Amino acid sequence: MIDLAVVDLSRLQFALTALYHFLFVPLTLGLSFMLVIMESIYVMTRRPIWRTITRFWGVLFGINFVLGVATGITMEFQFGMNWSYYSHYVGDIFGAPLAIEGLMAFFLEATFVGLMFFGWDKLKPHAHLFVTFMVALGTNLSALWILIANGWMQNPVGAAFNPDTMRMEVTDFMAVLFNPVAQAKFVHTVSAGYVCASVFVLGVSAFYLLRGRHVGFAKRSMTVASAFGLAASLSVVVLGDQSGYALTDNQKMKLAALEAMWRTEPAPAGLTLIGIPSMKDRETHFGVHVPWVMGLIATRTIDKPVEGIFELVATAEDRIESGVIAYDALEKVKADPADPVARGVFETHRRDLGYGLLLKRHVADPRQASPALIQQTAWETVPNVPALFWSFRIMAGVGMFMIALFATAFVLCTLRKHQTRWFLRLAVLSIPLPWIAIEFGWILAEFGRQPWAVEGVLPTFLGASSLTVAQLWATIVGFTLLYGALAVVEVRLMLHAIKKGPFHEQQTFETAPDTPSDPSAGARAPAAAVA
Amino acid sequence: MDLPLDFATLRLIWWGLLGVLLIAFALTDGFDLGVGALLPFVARTDEERRMVINTVGATWEGNQVWFILGGGAIFAAWPFVYAVSFSGFYLAMFLVLSALILRPVSFKYRSKRPSRTWRSLWDWGLFIGGFVPALVFGVAVGNVLLGAPFRLDGDLRSFYEGHLIGLFTPFSLLAGLLSVAMLVLHGAAWLSVKAEEGPVLDRARRFGTIAAVAALVLFAAGGLYVAYGGLGYRITSPIDVNGFSNPLRSTVEAAPGAWLDNYGRYPWMLIAPALGFLGAAVALVGLWRRSAALAFGGSSGSTVGIISTVGLSMFPFILPSSINPVSSLTVWNASSSHLTLFIMLLCTVVFLPLVLLYTAWVYKVLWGRSSTGALKTNPDLY
């Protein structure tokens, strides 16, 4: 039997390291493209202020980027370390996007990022812009491949179980590549990164404007952030994750859970705006409903029903029963690889093998499971409804707020009212919000996938390595200390760099190319640039 | 589906590519690790240290991708190896990860504050980030040659019956020290290419000389141990090179001395150990005669030779099991499916040349020796 303590600790460790990693990734995704925009303006206008703007946000980008890279190494290796059986079971499919990510994306960003920082005096402006663009392209392609990998866990297309190798093997690589869940996730995730970076640039610029420092610098940065942020916040909400929710039983379950929709409603289904879902009573108390909306979002039609949790559990029960038959046939194939009858039965029920494996949480041999146990296990396919319900509402609420924030910023910048103080205060206070929304978004996606590591294929608890509780605690404590210390250092360096401001280095290095010979020019540069 | 290359050929190609990736990692990020390990010893003042860091500052990040790609490629092409080795060498992997997390941060954050303590702390971070991975990689390779204590059950789930301390046997420590010597030599050779003439380079040459001699001695000692120390495994059942990737369908037994079998069967393979020795000797001459080309060419050749020797000696084994030899992972039983190997090869053929092309361009732009003088005028170098 699997040691469930090891499974829980492995999940805790994955959650900690992944959520921590994703504190740095969104800013990298968005800020890299904002650097491209800023530097493009510099290359087109050749006005030194835009070089200063690019270099300053580049410094903050660098402080953040390096931790994204460092914590990304953990991500690449912990599948093998903590999820060894998962790695064996789906490595034939899941490993490919990770390897291609390295080959196609990670090399690109990592090779050029050094030149981006060290190459200012070695490259002509347009060549340096090209380098910056390659970094942005690399980081965003990296997200594409990771989300193809993650999308496959949510919707495992293009693969089948091979009883001879006891694992999933790829049957249609194009299906893995063009998985609709992955496509939707990619757009949603990178857009969220663009919003995150826009809020960061907007908030820091607002801070300068409130203090009356670096005004010309801050106004320009704010203008770029408001335009980029408005486009991105619209994209993140409109091109949300929703499109993939009708595809698989687990995706349907995730949708029903995040809406706390216990029973199928006649089409088009209503949306529960707010309420208190209870796992124990299997209903939502004090729900405030809006008719029609859910059906429209989930099915994009008015006549298709959205399935509720009770109905999905009934489906799961059928699939577990079929999965037990598949498991029985597989055991016969393992005993005699040449048994044609067993292979035939296995082919018929192969789709449900994963559901049969769910029973292994309670019995070593799923064939021994009683009908009551099967029913109990079917209910275990329901993820934590209140957690999903609230995560979704926090995420979506912040998303809506972001649109309002950037629409206001855009209008104010267009009207040249950059110095509207109530808005500047709001912008500074909004800095943490995108991170909160993004982390809750991941909780929604991954917590909502439970009990599966790969939907319908491999239960999470089977994926863990055969480790000991002591080993896991050692690494969890180790990672927490290391990551905690680095987080403190990172935030302090960021604040330090923001406090020093964009013109600090020109005062230190008088020979920097765009610094006038007058040593006090640094402080006056923004005013001169505005003129 | 009919693919233009058969399963056995693809397995062989991916075994070769695994070697290519590991060697590329050792050749490029290897000197970054070596320079990191040398940093506190060859550079004393703050400016000297910054100058040494700048010899790798702009390129280490790209070089490190060979390691990450190595991890990804093992996952994609050899999922059994990825699953068994990373979970088996669990705490050792954690040590390497911690060191490799410390390294990027040290590179980037070191010069953000002027305080001496701050900078010295990160400089030691770079030392740890260079020395620890170099040592642990070598120890891991030593353990692979010895065989790892794992077994697979009927579901092909892996169980590991060793612990962290058990990884440090005399032979694996020897392999670890060889790895450190090899990469420190390579780092010193890189400094002879990239650092300005002066006290730093003189110190680097002295450390490089010691490392080259150590590499020669340790490589020879390792060879003797492999011949007479009772190492080796042999497949005893007929091999189906196109068969399913299921380790339990072949039989394997421990066979002391078997790691030398291949050299009898294919004498050309002796080129690899010869290159290991010859390269280190050439590097030694290069360091003495102050020839950057000989030093770096020699250390590169030695690195290629030493790593190839390990791979060729074990072929077709990739990760033998010491407690249950039947579970051993080989080229013929531990790969991905035929289709995955083929698709991954296509991706490699398209993207690897591109990677080499733009990496070469970046090195060309950054060509030239790093100097302490430039630090005073160029803000990007600090």
Q: What is the pLDDT of residues B166-200, one digit of tens each?
A: 889 999 999 999 999 999 999 999 999 999 999 99
Q: Is the pLDDT of residue A257 over 50?
A: yes
Average pLDDT, chain A: 88
Report residue A268's pLDDT band, with 50, 70 and 90 as the boundaries. low
- pTM attached to this predicted model: 0.91
Cβ of B86 within 8 Å of Cβ of A121? The answer is: no
Which residues in B306-330 are b (16+ Cβ under 10 Å) and which e? bbbbbbbbbbbbbbbbbebbbbbbb
> Residue B281 burial by CB count (10 A; 0-12/13-18/19+): exposed, middle or buried?
middle
pLDDT tens readout for residues B319-363? 999 999 999 999 999 999 999 999 999 999 999 999 999 999 999
Work out the minimum CA distance from A167 to partner chain B, whole angstroms. Answer: 9
Q: Check pLDDT > 70 for residue A358.
A: yes
**Cα nearest neighbour of A92 on chain B:** B336
Q: Which of residues 164-223 of A touch B (CB under 8 A)?
A: 164-167, 169-171, 173
Average pLDDT over residues A223-240: 90
> Do the Cβ atoms of B68 and A466 come within 8 Å?
no
The predicted pLDDT at position A301 comes to: 62
Q: Which of A88, A100, A467 sits opposite B80 (nearest CB)?
A: A88
pLDDT at B265 over 80: yes
**Which pLDDT score, from 0 to 100, does residue A241 have?**
58
pLDDT at A279 over 90: no
Q: Is residue B200 part of a domain?
A: yes
Q: Who among A77, A92, A113 is closest to B337 (CB)?
A: A92
A227 touches chain B (CB under 8 A): no
The shortest C-alpha distance from B157 to chain A (Å) reads: 6
Q: Cβ contacts (< 8 Å) between B83 and chain A: which residues?
A: 80, 84-85, 87-88, 91
State yes or no: pLDDT of A412 exceeds 90: yes
ipTM over 0.85: yes
Cβ contact B340–A170 (<8 Å): yes
Provide the 10 A C-beta neighbour count for residue B154: 10
> Looking at residue A265, what is its pLDDT?
75
Of residues B378 and B318, more confidence is placed in: B318
- Per-residue pLDDT at A513: 44
Q: Which residues of B touch A60 (CB under 8 A)?
A: none
Q: What is the pLDDT of residues A299-339, one digit of tens each?
A: 666 666 778 889 999 999 999 999 999 999 999 998 888 89
Contact B87 A70 (CB under 8 A): no
Q: Would the pLDDT of A485 be above 70?
A: yes
Which chain B residue is nearest to residue A513, measuring alpha carbons?
B378
Classify residue B350: in a domain, yes or no.
Answer: yes
Comparing A269-273, A274-278, B95-99, B239-243, which segment has the lowest mean pLDDT? A269-273
Residue B1 forms part of a structural domain: no
Burial of residue A225 (number of CB atoms within 10 Å: 0-12, 13-18, 19+): buried
**Mutation site, A65, A74, A87, A144, interface B, largest B CB count within 10 A:** A87
Residue B186, in any domain of the structure = yes
The reported pLDDT for the residue numbered A308 is 86
Across A188-197, A232-241, B156-165, the highest mean pLDDT is recorded for A188-197
Write out residues 110-169 of A within 8 Å (CB-CB) of B: 110-115, 117-123, 134, 162, 164-167, 169
pLDDT exceeds cutoff 60 at A528: no
Taking contacts as CB-CB distances below 8 angstroms, the residues of chain B near A486 are 101, 105
B242 to chain A, closest Cα gap in Å: 13
Distance from CA of B67 to the nearest CA of A (A): 9
C-alpha torsion angle, residues A255, A259, A261, A266 (rounded to 10): -80
To test the contact with chain A by mutation, choose from B55, B78, B105 the residue with the greatest count of A C-beta atoms within 10 A, namely: B105
Output the pLDDT for position A523. 38
Please indicate if any CB of chain B lies within 8 Å of the CB of A527: no
Q: Give the tens place of pLDDT for each residue, A430-449.
A: 999 999 999 999 999 999 89
Residue B140, pLDDT > 50, answer: yes
Smallest Cβ distance to B61: which of A77, A93, A110? A110
Nearest to B362 among A79, A102, A111 (CB): A111
Pick the residue from chain B with its C-alpha nearest to A99. Answer: B72
Q: Do A92 and B351 touch (CB under 8 A)?
A: no
CB B101 within 8 A of CB A73: yes
Cβ pairs A/B, distance under 8 A: 252
What total number of domains does chain B contain? Answer: 1
* Residues from chain B contacting residue A87 (CB–CB below 8 Å): 75, 79, 82-83, 86
| For residues B261-272, average pLDDT | 95
pLDDT given at position A246: 62
Subunit contact B80:A80, Cβ cutoff 8 A? no
Chain B CB within 8 Å of residue A468 CB: no
Domain that residue B176 falls in: 7-381
Has residue A518 got a pLDDT over 50? Answer: no
Tell me, yes or no, whether B114 lies in a domain.
Answer: yes
Taking only the tens place, the pLDDT of each residue in A35-92 is: 999 999 999 999 999 999 999 999 999 999 999 999 999 999 999 999 999 999 999 9
Q: By CB neighbour count within 10 A (0-12 exposed, 13-18 middle, 19+ buried), where does B60 fall?
A: buried
The confidence band for A271, taking pLDDT boundaries of 50, 70 and 90, is confident
**What value does the mean pLDDT take over residues B18-46?**
95
Supply the pLDDT for residue A239: 76
Selecting from A77, A93, A107 the residue whose C-beta is nearest the C-beta of B86 gives A77
The answer to whether the CB atoms of B82 and A76 lie below 8 A apart is no
In a domain, residue B2? The reply is no
In a domain, B197, yes or no: yes
Confidence of residue A247 (pLDDT cuts 50, 70, 90): low
- Residue B326 placed within a domain: yes
* pLDDT > 80? residue A13: yes
Identify which of A18, A27, A16 has the alpha carbon closest to the alpha carbon of residue A431: A27
Residue A457 reports pLDDT greater than 90? yes
- The answer to whether residue A239 neighbours chain B at the CB level (below 8 Å) is no
Closest-CA distance of chain B to residue A527, Å = 23
What is the pLDDT, as a whole number, of residue A207? Answer: 96
Please state, rounded to an integer, the average pLDDT across all residues of chain B. 93
pLDDT of B238 > 60? The answer is yes
Structure confidence at residue A242 (pLDDT): 61
Kindly determine whether residue A120 and residue B366, on different chains, have CB atoms separated by under 8 Å.
Answer: no
CB-CB under 8 Å, B83 with A80: yes
Q: How confident is the model at residue A530 (pLDDT cuts 50, 70, 90)?
A: very low
Of the candidates A115, A169, A512, the beta carbon closest to that of B58 is on: A115
Q: Quote the percentage of chain A above a pLDDT of 70.
A: 90
Can you tell me the mean pLDDT for B266-270?
96
* Confidence band of A289 (pLDDT split at 50, 70, 90): confident
Please tell me if residue A514 touches chain B, with a CB cutoff of 8 Å: no
- Whether residue A522 is predicted with pLDDT greater than 80 in this model: the reply is no
Tell me phi and psi for residue A143, to 5 degrees: -60, -35
pLDDT for the residue B372 = 84
Q: What is the pLDDT of residue A492?
A: 94
